[in-house]
Structure 1
């Protein structure tokens, strides 16, 4: 059963780093975080290119957070035993820090590895 405060993370499932990280978040908070691969069908208000460029998260009220703010939304929902991520969210939420980290994230995100796709058929490593 999904919690009323649950969010949906639109992430790149063809990125092994993204897949691993998002899977770890869901394992820690399965009732609070749902995953949606942005390489598949998307809601009309989520642009595929933008979602591939940076993490997008739909909040419980329908708003969409992107980039570093999307990570904050996830980290703030981590259970008490994941104090490190909640602490990281509190530390990096202030605007001067968040803005710099968001710019760094947007610069690094295109450099992430991706499983190769050829003719619409994607190969994933075993």
Structure 2
């Protein structure tokens, strides 16, 4: 894989689970996955509330994907084969769509630290 295949993940840096998981992905593929905490500065086309509600990823072609599609984009770039298998397994719509609904239902239940500056208040 090349740098042209790199993505940016917009994740909730106030969520300890999210932070740990995203750090794991970056350790595995540091040249292919960049992180941007969505409680900080964001590009104009990334809505903070939506980015806090679910993981968003900017693909190499500039498109934004979210939810399970964002995880699939990350897993496709992981060097270990098991992650790429997971991406292939979850990509078909009959699997991806229900998983995405489950993810969107569970995401608001994740733990979050309280923001100090009020930037990420909901």
Fold conserved between structures, TM > 0.5: yes
Does residue 15 in structure 1 map to residue 15 in structure 2? yes
TM-score under structure 1 normalisation?
0.90
Specify the alignment match of 2:87 in structure 1: 89
What SS does the corresponding residue of 1:4 show, helix, strand or coil?
helix
* Aligned match of 1:101: 99
Unaligned runs of 5+ residues in structure 2 are: none
Residue segments in structure 1 that go unaligned for 5+ positions in a row: none
Shift of the alpha carbon at 1:83? 1.4
Q: SS at the partner of 1:117?
A: coil
Q: TM-score, normalized by length of structure 2? A: 0.93
The DSSP-based 3-state class of the residue aligned with 2:84 is: helix
CA spacing shift, 1:118–1:86, aligned 2, 3 Å:
same
CA RMSD of aligned residues (A): 1.6
Q: Which aligned runs of 4 or more in structure 1 are off by greater than 4 angstroms?
A: none
